[in-house]
């Protein structure tokens, strides 16, 4: 934060009584009459659009935005969200409305690692890879915060750290993570948001981490965030998480002790009610006046940086006319197209609308608005659901037949006799049509956050990777007709499509697809747009993952998975084809944090203009370097390096390029400061001398990707 904002904050807090200062470290900060400062509520959400505050542009869910592999577009989306948040804030404060979801402190992005495909809140993340999550988190933070004199909005990276389910246990769960997994997987995205994105806030998690409550952790908050990383922004608890410290973690006896524990761990703002008793903690000698005022200064520095105490903020003129614009709607549509992942295509796609007289649209997500929204969503004025998208796309006179086909989820059917009551209609509609579009999936009332879903038996987590039984019966019934079938899936997580892979002609993953999701998918199906997404998560076969309670990275994500995935991380088909050539390594690039950049030429060898996502992976092969590095100054290297517990390879760069048929272009990956790091078992990062293997292509360098695409990555070698 700029020095002037800290000075403003310090002056204001110094002018307050201790009781007044203590009231300002609550998320629902009351007015300070003596200073003429109005009340302010810190809680606002902007995960994939301004949330819970009425009309706003609804972008695809965060996991879908990750599938774009596009930093530039994500930054633009962040900027739109900031604009709409400012518009609401400016207009609502005119009427004295300072309630929650009306502020400009956004508790986004969620940069937790989606380590287990069953986790309900995984949809809020940017996937399973630390590098991808960090790079996208940085882009989103920059979009939210802007580059003006003041912060456009304040971004907040959450939930620090080691947080990814199970939802049912999160309030009392102790996530056990090794030093290596902490450093290598669970914290790098937060580090990137701080060091590269200059994020102004960090939110703690509900769970414990290695015995300490995450929102009151000396190891996580004091040592890692404040001391090691020099983080100077504000830290906020997750909502009611400080109450968990005594009620569920049983670390303290009561709210007074919990508040003291959190404040001493530099948790500056309490989302919840524990800090309402912080003066009791002071009176009992559990916290000092300095600790209370220091936290208040941290909070007020953010408010000063947002221009709340100034009259020259460049964002004060943003108004209701800047909300829900045609331009933001077009950006949302493009994001829906670019996030859609084509998983299978036997050649049926794109459909020729001139060859279709009757088309069947079948499935419980065909008319759903919820599958456009995901969780933590706003309300759009421009929804186009899946069925309407098809109706908009077909030729005039083409007959569109619709059947719900199945109930979204078995547990929703109170009368079990009616559980399969749509199957015969689905078969009838399918047999009467030339081609069938099956819309399947879940929604955020089934997979999502604990307390928000109706899926009470798993508190928002999935119990398997299969679609609900009701939908599987529908799929089996429809494919038995022998009609061409295209499966379109709306979920926020991976699904086991083993049956569909064998029996469907095409499979499309469209996530929770945004306000224009139905139109985007229809345009893709009919060739008016080209699918542009890649998988930010591995699609596993059910039963191949460790227990969700196990936080070890062993056998998790593409970097450590020991089996064969159904669809690999980084995978996605196109209507075009691309050829990679001429890989060049520059070892003296002053603009790259590591000093190394890699350039590759890509040619569109297909017949349509399309985007390609180029991916760069590094395999540092530590086993080959061990004997050469025992005397390089790393103490205890042979004991601390376990070659069997290292990633197969890791994503270290991605770039998106648009090419016309026959056109060639180049992309350059500027490798980061940590690209050539090896993380030891004790959590230390080292750079080992030796050869590093680099792979560049439109996928990861695994056998499954090669078998699905018929292509291999370019390979090169660099000696460090």
DSSP string computed for 70-126 = -HHHHHHHHHHHHHHHHHHHHHHHHTT---TTSSSBB---B-----STT-GGGGGS-
Q: What is the mean pLDDT of residues 85-103?
A: 97
Whole-number Cα distances in Å, 110 to 57, 193, 238, 557: 19, 11, 12, 18
Q: Which of 567, 66, 139 is nearest to 338 (CA)?
A: 66
Gyration radius (Cα) of the chain, Å: 26
Cα separation, 695 vs 716, whole angstroms: 6
CB 149 within 8 A of CB 578: no
CB 57 within 8 A of CB 327: no
Does position 97 have pLDDT exceeding 80, yes or no?
yes
Q: Is residue 604 exposed (0-12), middle (13-18) or buried (19+ Cβ within 10 Å)?
A: buried
Beta bridge partners of 665: 602
Does position 448 have pLDDT exceeding 70, yes or no?
yes
Reading the block at residue 315, the tokens are 């964002």
Does position 456 have pLDDT exceeding 90, yes or no?
no
Look at residue 632 in the predicted model and tell me its pLDDT.
64
Q: Which of 700, 699, 705 is nearest to 566 (CA)?
A: 705
Q: Which of 521, 499, 525 is nearest to 512 (CA)?
A: 521
Q: What percent of the chain has pLDDT over 70?
A: 98
Cα separation, 612 vs 665, whole angstroms: 11
Does position 652 have pLDDT exceeding 80, yes or no?
yes
Look at residue 621 in the predicted model and tell me its pLDDT.
85
CB 45 within 8 A of CB 51: yes
Does position 264 have pLDDT exceeding 70, yes or no?
yes
Dihedral in degrees, nearest 10, Cα atoms 595, 648, 508, 77? -30
Q: At what angle do helices 289-305 and 3-14 cross, to 10 degrees?
A: 130
Cα separation, 43 vs 89, whole angstroms: 12
Does position 412 have pLDDT exceeding 70, yes or no?
no
Alpha helices by DSSP H, 556-630:
557-560, 622-625
Whole-number Cα distances in Å, 404 to 286, 361, 371, 486, 698: 60, 8, 15, 16, 37
Exposure b/e, 105-138, CB count within 10 A at least 16 = b: bbbbbbbbbbbbbbbbbbbbbbbbbbbbbbbbbb
Look at residue 458 in the predicted model and tell me its pLDDT.
74
Q: Give yes or no for a cis peptide into 166 (omega within 30° of 0).
A: yes
Exposure of 370 in the CB half-sphere (CA atoms within 13 A) = 16
Q: 478-518 pLDDT, tens per residue?
A: 999 999 999 999 999 999 999 999 999 999 999 999 999 99
Look at residue 561 in the predicted model and tell me its pLDDT.
97
Q: What is the mean pLDDT of residues 647-675?
A: 98
Q: Which residue has the higher pLDDT, 35 or 409?
A: 35
Q: 535-588 pLDDT, tens per residue?
A: 999 999 999 999 999 999 999 999 999 999 999 999 999 999 999 999 999 999
Beta bridge partners of 440: 489
Cα separation, 154 vs 200, whole angstroms: 6
636: alpha, beta or left? (left if phi > 0; alpha if psi -120 to 50): left
The pLDDT confidence band at residue 631, using thresholds 50, 70 and 90, is: low
Q: Which of 74, 49, 203, 61 is nearest to 138 (CA)?
A: 74
Secondary structure (DSSP) of 189-204: HHHHHHHTT--SEEEE
Q: Which of 317, 194, 185 is nearest to 651 (CA)?
A: 185
Which parts of 290-374 are beta strand (E)?
341-345, 358-362
Reading the block at residue 187, the tokens are 């914290």
Query: Residue 17: enclosing H or E segment and its boundaries?
Result: none
Q: What is the mean pLDDT of residues 184-211?
A: 98
Cα separation, 617 vs 496, whole angstroms: 26
Q: What is the mean pLDDT of residues 256-285?
A: 98
Look at residue 676 in the predicted model and tell me its pLDDT.
96
Cα separation, 374 vs 52, whole angstroms: 12
Look at residue 36 in the predicted model and tell me its pLDDT.
95
Q: Which residue has the higher pLDDT, 56 or 409?
A: 56
Cα separation, 83 vs 166, whole angstroms: 34
């Amino acid at each position: 934060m700029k020095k002037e904002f800290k000075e403003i904050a310090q002056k204001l807090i110094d002018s307050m009584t201790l009781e007044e200062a203590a009231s300002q470290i609550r998320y629902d900060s009351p007015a300070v009459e003596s200073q003429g400062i109005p009340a302010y509520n810190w809680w606002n959400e902007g995960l994939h659009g301004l949330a819970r505050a009425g009309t706003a542009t609804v972008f695809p869910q965060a996991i879908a935005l990750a599938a774009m592999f596009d930093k530039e577009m994500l930054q633009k989306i962040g900027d739109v969200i900031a604009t709409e948040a400012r518009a609401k804030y400016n207009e609502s404060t005119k009427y004295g409305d300072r309630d929650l979801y009306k502020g400009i402190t956004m508790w986004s992005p969620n940069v937790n690692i989606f380590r287990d495909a069953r986790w309900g809140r995984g949809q809020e993340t940017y996937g399973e890879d630390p590098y991808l999550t960090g790079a996208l988190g940085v882009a989103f933070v920059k979009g939210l915060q802007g580059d003006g004199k003041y912060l456009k909005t304040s971004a907040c990276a959450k939930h620090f750290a080691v947080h990814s389910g199970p939802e049912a246990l999160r309030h009392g769960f102790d996530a056990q993570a090794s030093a290596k997994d902490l450093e290598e997987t669970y914290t790098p995205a937060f580090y990137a948001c701080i060091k590269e994105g200059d994020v102004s806030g960090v939110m703690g998690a509900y769970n414990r981490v290695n015995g300490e409550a995450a929102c009151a952790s000396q190891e996580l908050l004091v040592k890692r965030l404040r001391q090691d990383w020099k983080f100077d922004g504000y830290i906020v608890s997750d909502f009611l998480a400080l109450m968990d410290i005594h009620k569920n973690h049983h670390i303290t006896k009561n709210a007074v002790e919990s508040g003291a524990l959190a404040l001493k761990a530099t948790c500056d703002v309490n989302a919840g009610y524990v800090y309402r008793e912080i003066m009791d903690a002071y009176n009992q000698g559990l916290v000092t006046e300095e600790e209370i005022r220091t936290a208040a200064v941290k909070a007020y520095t953010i408010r000063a940086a947002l221009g709340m105490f100034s009259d020259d903020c460049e964002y004060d003129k943003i108004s209701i006319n800047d909300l829900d614009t045609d331009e933001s709607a077009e950006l949302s549509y493009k994001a829906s197209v670019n996030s859609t992942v084509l998983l299978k295509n036997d050649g049926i796609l794109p459909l020729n609308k001139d060859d279709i007289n009757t088309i069947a649209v079948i499935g419980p997500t065909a008319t759903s608005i919820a599958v456009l929204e995901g969780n933590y969503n706003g309300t759009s004025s421009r929804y186009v659901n899946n069925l309407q998208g098809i109706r908009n796309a077909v030729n005039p006179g083409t007959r569109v037949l619709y059947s719900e086909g199945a109930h979204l989820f078995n547990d929703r059917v109170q009368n079990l006799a009616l559980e399969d009551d749509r199957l015969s209609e689905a078969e009838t509609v399918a047999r009467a049509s030339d081609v069938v579009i099956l819309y399947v999936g879940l929604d955020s009332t089934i997979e999502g956050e604990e307390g928000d879903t109706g899926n009470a038996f798993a508190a928002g987590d999935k119990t398997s990777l299969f679609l609900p039984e009701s939908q599987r019966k529908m799929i089996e019934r429809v494919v038995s007709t022998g009609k061409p079938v295209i499966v379109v899936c709306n979920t926020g997580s991976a699904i086991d499509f083993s049956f569909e892979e064998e029996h469907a002609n095409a499979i499309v993953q469209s996530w929770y697809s945004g306000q224009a999701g139905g139109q985007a998918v229809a345009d893709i199906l009919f060739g008016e747009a080209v699918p542009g997404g890649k998988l930010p998560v591995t699609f596993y076969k059910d039963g191949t993952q460790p227990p969700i309670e196990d936080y070890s990275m062993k056998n998790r994500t593409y970097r450590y998975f020991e089996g064969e995935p159904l669809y690999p991380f980084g995978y996605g088909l196109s209507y075009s084809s691309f050829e990679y050539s001429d890989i060049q390594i520059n070892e003296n690039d002053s603009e790259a944090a590591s000093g190394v950049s890699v350039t590759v030429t890509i040619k569109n060898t297909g017949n349509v203009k399309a985007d390609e996502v180029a991916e760069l992976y590094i395999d540092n092969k530590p086993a080959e370097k061990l004997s050469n590095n025992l005397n390089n100054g790393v103490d205890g290297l042979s004991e601390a390096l376990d070659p069997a517990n290292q990633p197969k390879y890791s994503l270290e760069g991605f770039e998106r390029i648009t090419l016309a048929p026959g056109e060639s272009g180049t992309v350059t990956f500027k490798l980061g400061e940590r690209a050539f790091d090896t993380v030891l078992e004790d959590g230390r990062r080292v750079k080992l001398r030796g050869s590093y293997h680099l792979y560049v292509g439109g996928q990861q360098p695994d056998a499954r990707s090669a078998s699905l695409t018929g292509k291999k990555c370019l390979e090169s070698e660099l000696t460090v």
